[in-house]
Structure 1
Amino acid sequence: MTNDWQDSKERKRWGRIGIRSLGGFPGPWPIAVTVMAIAAALAVAFVLYPITGIENVDLVFLAPIIAIAVRYGFWPSLLACLLSALAYNFFFIAPVYAFAVTDKASIATVPFFLLVAVITSHLAARARAAALAAESRAETTEALYAFSRKIAGIVSLDDLLLATGQQIGSMLRLEVVILLPDDDGRLEVKAAYPPADRVGGTDTDAVRMAWDGSGSIERGTEALLTAQHLFLPLRTSHGPVGAIGVSRAGTALTPDKERLLAALADQAAVAIERIRLTTEMDAARLAAETERLRSALLSSLSHDLKTPLASITGAATSLRQYGELYDAAAREELAATIQGEGERLSRFVANLLDMTRLKAGGIVLKREPVDLSEAVGAALQRIQGLLGEHRVVVNLPADLPMLDLDVVLFEQVLVNLLDNAAKYSPPGSWIAISAAGDRRKVELTVSDEGPGIPAEELERVFEMFHRVNKGDRQRAGTGLGLSICRGFVEVLGGTIRAAIRTDRSGAVFTITFPEAVFTVMPREDAAE
């Protein structure tokens, strides 16, 4: 039963194609051109008749018949056939200037001439229709390809819906409305061409049926016809993603336009699903990253921040409850422990706050000319407690240019680098600070004599909460210091990189500032 119904549809469709291939009925201009063409052929026939005889006159009329069929289709060419047959009979077959035929040999000439002319014109008209159809299909295919390329580069759902509405509206010359489900599953107008914000009440049920796929028109395409719109569901292999409606404008769509609309709807549905899947993947990736950072932060809070608090609490409790049992040196050591662990805790909290500012984009720079030697000296002063067991050497040339930096952020970068060097270097080892510069850049390096950094970890050391040498050899810290260094340096306009020392074990961190960060101090006499 289904196959018979489909075969019947195919026969009807091909029947419509055969009728359309004959072309529409001619207007005034094709009729006028046809008459003038036959008149011109008649004039040529009068010229050739005395020379070639009647045997070749009929060929003269076939040329304009074929030309009219190719140019204007079947009906104008049929008119040309009739006019040619009448002219051939009236002017060239005896008795001339009359439509009667008295010569028995010529009785079959006119009917056969008319039959040949009709068949020729019909074949030419079919060839013209096939050429026009092929041209139309090529244009449609090109438009679909251009549309697919256009929507392939769109990443915003609103832009995609707008482009889809404009494409369908311009190609089909119809009003278009696109509906997508909201969070509650109700379809809402998300885009329209021309702009509209709702669908008529009489179409609401049809939209829902197109969305659910619970109704269809006779084509079996799950489309629904209403008094105002033709609705199609936007479906992919994973299910419906929306619905699209086009204004019927009082007339039914042709099968070619219906197929074009279905192709555009399929492309739009796939693009909508692609954007939604991309959005869901981004959300899942963000959630996973947030969970990873949350776990790392909780680990830091539970271990790295709890440790100095325990030390502070223990030392303070000992001083308060058993202070009379300790001599002056012991009390001084406990007080130093409280101060050191408090400063360590302060640095941890400061790093967390700095990273929060970096991620929120809330850093406002206060640039001013900075001398590297002064900035290094201030950083060493701030962290001298941690560097007490290390030997520090500073080598800064006197001719280094002044840099336009935020001195607070730059000092924090130096403090974090020195803290990292002290943390991973054994007591008594050297920590070196050096600089070099020319007219194009200034490089400041901080090197230590620790175990160094594995080659595969050189970039990862700047990631949040990442620390090298995990396990029993893991050092105390939040894993934020180097990440903050990179963030601050990049905000200041420079770059920072990590490397392995080649002369001995240890790590080298190099900060590079380009010429754009250089500044020139005005001379005092110029200011006066």
Structure 2
Amino acid sequence: MRIGLRLLLAFFLVLGLALFVVLRVFIEEVKPGTRLAMEDSLVDAANALALVAAPDMKAGTIASGSFARAMTALPQVDPGATIWGFQKDRLHYRITVTDARGIVVFDSRGEDLGKDHSQWNDVLRTLRGQYGARSSGENPYDADRTVMHVAAPIRDGQQIIGVLTVSRPNQTLEPYIQRSRDRILNWSWALLGISLAIGLLFTWWMASSLSRLRGYANAVARGERAELPRMGRLSGNTEFADLAQAVERMRIRLEDKAYVENYVHTLTHELKSPLAAIRGAAELLQEPMPEADRERFAGNIQRQTERLQQLIDRLLALADVEQMRGLNTVEPVDLAALTRELLHTAEPKLRLKQLRVVEQLGDGLVVQGDRFLIAQALQNLLDNAIDFSPSGGALTVSAGREGAAVTWSVRDEGPGIPDYAQERIFERFYSLPRDDTHEKSSGLGLCLVKEVSELHGGSLTIGNVSDPRGCRASWTLPA
């Protein structure tokens, strides 16, 4: 399982568990919390009404006095109130008054007059001087419909002469309870959606940062010319940015070490042959010999010295290109004009081998890149074609646009590339002998061309052709 998916699942597991617990607590506390608030208001109302009812209770007119007339009118009162969007058009209070024995002497609904309520908790506990309240069923056949009763003592001095009970159905609170639950659920879904967006963004950020670092590390492992990934604004100075910098420093140190070791090894190997030839010729020149032999050995020393110089120069040039992570200079380069300049420079070599050049160069073939590096690459391809061409042969140099790219190619009429060398022509220091001298070059030219091509985002192909027989090198660059 990918780390991004694991992070997302872990995030939502923790979030879901926390949201479930919080929601459960909230929803479960809404109903009892609302009922506690109602009970508190009933306590205030019961005690206030008990004070109002006390004079009539003392006078024995509790069933017919002003208090009774006022409380009997409660069902007809229309408050005309709108609470949280709910219309309140009636009062739900029921007032009952019992005497000191617990017998109902007043009922605002007139239903329980004369009944004995002395065993109900609200009356029983209040007559004992305690707080009396109860919640009982309004209908014996409907357990969900309950009524809350809160009582207060009616006193004559310190003596309790009666109990006033205020009752209200719990069902009247259901709209408010349901509204609170709905709001909690709606906000919870909104919170879940916001958390989902944040979780996705956070997971994407971490996964993409790790993915870029992994891609960079894999590219470095494959030996590709990779740039340090940008971690973006979200990363800032976080551990991801520090990790990217650490990987880059490690890559540079490892590459530098491996680069030096590889070059020292290969350069030492390649220098052995010309140095051995120079030493051998120098030892022979110290002995008496015919003038013709002396000139031959002296010429051999000169050729091997030139080979060493060429090897060192090209090795330095290749080292510079291989260490580049991108182009330092980008400018418009006209491939046709540049090719004509290089052919003019190579004219002495072309005449020496009596080579005929067939130009098939279009106009306006402009690419963006480093002119010096492109010139070096084209020069190496032309030199190879000239070196492997037979005397009196022809070179065909062409360039043309192909969609959004420009393709440059040179074709010779030489022997082509042997099958055993097809896979090795881009290896460093690998070279094939020239037909005329049987000498080898530095083996760095095509390696340099390949590096320059990769820097410019191009593609290089070299292969044999027939009719007539020869070899073609093609280089495609973005226009």
Residue matched to 1:498? 462
Cα displacement (A) at 1:479: 3.8
Residue matched to 1:435? 397
Out of 357, 370, 374, the residue aligned to residue 395 of structure 1 is 357
Residue matched to 1:136? 191
Cα displacement (A) at 1:327: 1.3
**In structure 2, how many angstroms separate the alpha carbons of the residues matched to 1:399 and 1:10?**
72
Residue matched to 1:378? 345
Residue matched to 2:217? none
**In structure 2, how many angstroms separate the alpha carbons of the residues matched to 1:135 and 1:293?**
57
**In structure 2, how many angstroms separate the alpha carbons of the residues matched to 1:134 and 1:438?**
62
**In structure 2, how many angstroms separate the alpha carbons of the residues matched to 1:480 and 1:443?**
20
Instruction: Please say if 1:445 is aligned against 2:452.
Output: no
Cα displacement (A) at 1:312: 1.8
Cα displacement (A) at 1:16: 4.6
**In structure 1, how many angstroms separate the alpha carbons of the residues matched to 2:280 and 2:416?**
32
Query: Residue type of the partner of 2:358?
Result: L
Residue matched to 1:417? 381
Instruction: Please say if 1:104 is aligned against 2:111.
Output: yes
Residue matched to 2:202? 147
Residue matched to 2:316? 353
Deviation per CA, 1:3-26, whole angstroms, max 9, x where unpaired? Answer: xxxxxx99996785347656999x
Residue matched to 2:293? 330
**In structure 2, how many angstroms separate the alpha carbons of the residues matched to 1:456 and 1:131?**
73
Residue matched to 1:313? 279
**In structure 1, how many angstroms separate the alpha carbons of the residues matched to 2:304 and 2:290?**
21
Tell me the TM-score normalized by structure 1.
0.46
Check 1:437–1:146 CA distance in 2 against 1; reply closer, same or farther (3 A cut). Answer: closer
Q: For structure 2, which runs of at least 5 residues remain unmatched after alignment?
A: 1-17, 35-74, 96-105, 116-137, 140-146, 149-166, 214-227
**In structure 2, how many angstroms separate the alpha carbons of the residues matched to 1:513 and 1:15?**
65
Residue matched to 2:135? none
Query: Residue type of the partner of 2:417?
Result: G
Q: For structure 1, which runs of at least 5 residues remain unmatched after alignment?
A: 1-8, 26-56, 69-76, 90-98, 166-189, 192-271, 517-528
Residue matched to 1:17? 26
Cα displacement (A) at 1:454: 5.5
Structure number with greater CO (CA < 8 Å, separation at least 6) is 2
Check 1:437–1:160 CA distance in 2 against 1; reply closer, same or farther (3 A cut). Answer: closer
Aligned residues, how many? Answer: 334
Judge conservation of contact 2:338–2:375 (CA < 8 Å) in 1.
Answer: no
Judge conservation of contact 1:431–1:446 (CA < 8 Å) in 2.
Answer: no
Check 1:497–1:307 CA distance in 2 against 1; reply closer, same or farther (3 A cut). Answer: same
Query: Residue type of the partner of 2:26?
Result: I
Cα displacement (A) at 1:147: 3.1
**In structure 1, how many angstroms separate the alpha carbons of the residues matched to 2:21 and 2:410?**
83
Q: Which moved further from structure 2: 114-123 or 341-350?
A: 114-123
Residue matched to 1:484? 448
Deviation per CA, 1:32-81, whole angstroms, max 9, x where unpaired? Answer: xxxxxxxxxxxxxxxxxxxxxxxxx99x999967855xxxxxxxx9xx79
**In structure 2, how many angstroms separate the alpha carbons of the residues matched to 1:367 and 1:134?**
60
SS in 2 for 1:302: helix
**In structure 1, how many angstroms separate the alpha carbons of the residues matched to 2:454 and 2:235?**
41
Judge conservation of contact 1:495–1:513 (CA < 8 Å) in 2.
Answer: yes
Deviation per CA, 1:150-188, whole angstroms, max 9, x where unpaired? Answer: 4444459998696379xxxxxxxxxxxxxxxxxxxxxxx
**In structure 2, how many angstroms separate the alpha carbons of the residues matched to 1:329 and 1:398?**
46
After TM superposition, the structure 1 = structure 2 runs for residues 275-286 of structure 1, keeping only pairs within 5 Å, are none
Out of 306, 321, 325, the residue aligned to residue 343 of structure 1 is 306
Judge conservation of contact 1:62–1:117 (CA < 8 Å) in 2.
Answer: no
**In structure 2, how many angstroms separate the alpha carbons of the residues matched to 1:487 and 1:451?**
23
**In structure 2, how many angstroms separate the alpha carbons of the residues matched to 1:153 and 1:485?**
34
**In structure 2, how many angstroms separate the alpha carbons of the residues matched to 1:479 and 1:449?**
18
**In structure 1, how many angstroms separate the alpha carbons of the residues matched to 2:310 and 2:360?**
31
Judge conservation of contact 1:421–1:450 (CA < 8 Å) in 2.
Answer: no
Cα displacement (A) at 1:301: 0.9
Judge conservation of contact 1:315–1:337 (CA < 8 Å) in 2.
Answer: yes
Residue matched to 1:40? none
Q: Which moved further from structure 2: 354-363 or 105-114?
A: 105-114
SS in 2 for 1:142: helix
SS in 2 for 1:485: helix
Cα displacement (A) at 1:134: 2.5
SS in 2 for 1:118: helix
Structure having the larger proportion of residues in strand? 2
Check 1:14–1:442 CA distance in 2 against 1; reply closer, same or farther (3 A cut). Answer: closer
Judge conservation of contact 2:377–2:449 (CA < 8 Å) in 1.
Answer: yes
Cα displacement (A) at 1:333: 0.9
Residue matched to 2:267? 301
Deviation per CA, 1:338-357, whole angstroms, max 9, x where unpaired? Answer: 11111111111111121233
The structure whose Rg is larger is 2
Cα displacement (A) at 1:294: 4.0
Deviation per CA, 1:481-521, whole angstroms, max 9, x where unpaired? Answer: 1132345578899875323213366431135689x7xxxxx
Cα displacement (A) at 1:149: 2.7
**In structure 2, how many angstroms separate the alpha carbons of the residues matched to 1:329 and 1:362?**
52
Check 1:15–1:480 CA distance in 2 against 1; reply closer, same or farther (3 A cut). Answer: same
CA RMSD of aligned residues (A): 5.8
**In structure 2, how many angstroms separate the alpha carbons of the residues matched to 1:347 and 1:456?**
23
Cα displacement (A) at 1:420: 3.9
Cα displacement (A) at 1:101: 0.7
Judge conservation of contact 1:498–1:509 (CA < 8 Å) in 2.
Answer: yes
Tell me the TM-score normalized by structure 2.
0.50
SS in 2 for 1:104: coil
Judge conservation of contact 2:393–2:413 (CA < 8 Å) in 1.
Answer: yes
